[in-house]
Structure 1
Amino acid sequence: MNSSHANISEELLARYLADNASESERNNVEAWLTESEANARELAAYRLIWDHTASMKKSSAPVDTDAAWNKMKGKMAAFKSPMAASEVKTIEFRPEMKKRRLPVTVWAAAMIAILVMAFGWFFLIADKTPELLNVATTNNTTEQLLPDGTKVFLNYNSKLTYPENFKGDLRTVSLQGEAFFDVKPDAAHPFVIQANGTEIRVLGTSFNVKAYSEAPVRVDVATGKVRVSKDAHRVELVKGQSAEVLKDSIRSLQANMNLMGYRTQVYDFNAADLQDVVSSIRDGYHVDVRLSNDKIAQCRLTIRFEKEPVDATLSVIAETLDLNLRKEGKVYWLEGNGCQ
């Protein structure tokens, strides 16, 4: 037989249709099919004629490819001169010809295609990425209830991003700034916070996360257990423990519950340096409090405040340590000569 194709011979097509082609030849035909839709349509037409020409029953004798191909070419001559895409679409057989039953493989391929489309549509709807929502603060605090029932209390200049609905194995949110989390327990779906390259993972607990860009991420645990990770470093914390995430390590600390004063307005100092007391009040009340000199910075104070106004809190501190309190504009000054 002579070739009638620029890239592939009729002999090869015959062997391919008769399932007598070698693996290499089959690869050549399948590569040819992918070159254009016209090639695919042409082979489809050949296969249609081949199937109508071949015997409907399998024979134990070997397939005579050349004889089958010659017989097939005789039928092709009736409509192919040469075969074009428009002609392929109008191929018909006379009604008196015996109706051919489609091969099982064709039915299987059709069913697979239908299932793929059905499942594709289902997952397109079911797995649609939930819309991300944001809650942010500037010079205020706010509390946000998440879709799973978790409560988040945001400090000043903070932003929380979370999905409108939690889907999948994890409940993931991201934080910039500071927030106190009271996580709704769900052992099957861990709660994960992404904060400045640090991952905080819990099942159900309460804790504070401080993640402003200019300082290391810090986590203080109020209840339950928390896992803090960054790169290859990881630490697990329980109630009363804290961690500070540095560039190349994670440092374990004792939790400082006064850091959560911005939410609770409760401060409990036990032999604390005045410098640390002032720092907690400054962050919790969002006011500018300063010491007049370094001598009084080391004065120690044991005292508890619960939801007291800032003026009253600072006045009690000054009275307790025998210091003077002065307000200049928006700045509070604690002044004195030091402590005995």
Structure 2
Amino acid sequence: MSKSEYNTEDFVLDPEFRKWVLTNDPEAKRYWEEFLSTNKSKIQEVEKARKILIHLSQERFALPDSEIDLQWNMINDKIDHMEGLKRQTKVVSLDSWSAIQHHKEQSRQKRKRNFIRTAVFAFSALGCFIFAVWFQSQKFDDTQEVELSYETMEVPAGVKSNYLLPDGTEVTLNSQSKITFEKNFSGDIREIELVGEGFFDVAEDSLRPFIVKTQQVSTQALGTAFNIKAYPEEPISVSLIRGSVLVTNSEVSDFKEKLVPGEEMFATLDNSTWIKGQFDLKQALAWMNKTLIFDKTPFITTVHSLEKWFGVTFTFENDIPKNLFVTGEFKDESLKNILDGMSYSSRFSYTIDGKKVNLKFKP
């Protein structure tokens, strides 16, 4: 049968389709995406089959022990009945040759019985699986709520990590950041919740939009690359590197902004300021290149950046001078080297004790 003639059950039972859904095999992915581009009428059935498979993979179907015993008893009874009919008409000779042949026949019959028993049970198991698939397809309703499971990937202070999501999207998380998402992306959308800063190189999937939620701001993309910075108690920024994204705000109903490469959306936490403009690519992605860049940055903001970057805590023996700003670029430098460089222009001394840094400003 041509796959263009498949119904939902056919897709579920197709080995290559199962490989695409359950293992995200690259070759299978390419094949089925090409199939969908030329068979758009099958998109709804493909999506339904995909949900059934994911649901089945989370709830492994297995026959209960009582049902297995019942199946075996039925098989044995049927075989015994067939053997009984044969014994009613069979006459066994008692001469030595016949006795030998009789024992051989018994051995053959025993092997035959075992083969029949195994074959019947195998077909019964296959029938149960097909029934389970059929039953799932009959009862499955898009409006039915299915218990979902979620995964969280978290990066501690002083660390940066790369991850590959189930759909092939590549994520790089900055220090003190985490993402939470539905396991296997089984829904109609690929939704990520981000706290902190992350760079997303999104895998294309025309069936399911990719959405990153950061507090009240949502960023939607299909196939693109962008950076989002959304640490608690800090302004949110969305910087688009490639493709296009749509930025919305759950607290501002009529707010929608589409960004093109090179554009950035900046928002304060209280929604009082929304700025759309160009951004410096080098500065936006500096953290991915192990580089800290400060450009007339308030000193306290610089300190917070160093705390996240190195996983340390700063304390101050006296007040930070007013209107103190920091400018400089530090690539893959140690905390000591950075503080040495800053101390000359900012006029402070410091001590480092493990994960604690103490600063004292000179009069």
TM-score for both structures, normalised by structure 1: 0.51
Structure 1 regions of 5+ residues with no counterpart? 1-116
For 1:1-340, what aligned pairs fall within 5 Å after superposition? 121-122=136-137, 131-139=149-157, 140-167=159-186, 169-175=188-194, 177-186=195-204, 188=206, 189-203=208-222, 204-212=224-232, 215=233, 218-221=236-239, 223-224=241-242, 225-231=244-250, 232=253, 233-238=255-260, 239=262, 241-247=264-270, 251-252=274-275, 263-289=288-314, 292-295=318-321, 297-319=322-344, 321=345, 323-327=347-351, 329=353, 330-333=356-359, 335-337=361-363
- Contact in 1 for aligned 2:247/2:258 (Cα 8 Å): yes
> Which protein, 1 or 2, shows the higher relative CO under an 8 Å CA cutoff with sep ≥ 6?
2
SS in 2 for 1:133: strand
Q: Measure, in 1, the Cα distance between the counterparts of 2:269 and 2:313.
A: 27
Structure 2 regions of 5+ residues with no counterpart? 1-131
User: Closer, same or farther in 2 for the Cα pair 1:268/1:185, shift >3 Å?
Assistant: same
Relative to its length, the structure with more helix (as a share) is: 2
- Contact in 2 for aligned 1:262/1:283 (Cα 8 Å): no
Q: Measure, in 2, the Cα distance between the counterparts of 1:123 and 1:252.
A: 50
Letter matched to residue 121 of structure 1: Q
User: Closer, same or farther in 2 for the Cα pair 1:308/1:151, shift >3 Å?
Assistant: same
SS in 1 for 2:341: helix
User: Closer, same or farther in 2 for the Cα pair 1:325/1:142, shift >3 Å?
Assistant: same
Q: Measure, in 1, the Cα distance between the counterparts of 2:169 and 2:303.
A: 31
User: Closer, same or farther in 2 for the Cα pair 1:245/1:302, shift >3 Å?
Assistant: closer
Bigger mean CA deviation after superposition, 163-172 or 144-153: 163-172
Letter matched to residue 332 of structure 1: N
User: Closer, same or farther in 2 for the Cα pair 1:223/1:298, shift >3 Å?
Assistant: same
Q: Measure, in 2, the Cα distance between the counterparts of 1:286 and 1:328.
A: 12
User: Closer, same or farther in 2 for the Cα pair 1:118/1:328, shift >3 Å?
Assistant: closer
Letter matched to residue 179 of structure 1: E
Q: Measure, in 1, the Cα distance between the counterparts of 2:284 and 2:314.
A: 16
SS in 1 for 2:185: coil
Aligned twin of 2:37:
none
Letter matched to residue 183 of structure 1: D
- Contact in 1 for aligned 2:175/2:309 (Cα 8 Å): no
Q: Measure, in 2, the Cα distance between the counterparts of 1:172 and 1:316.
A: 42
**Cα shift at 1:180:** 0.9
Count of aligned pairs between the two proteins: 216
**Cα shift at 1:193:** 1.5
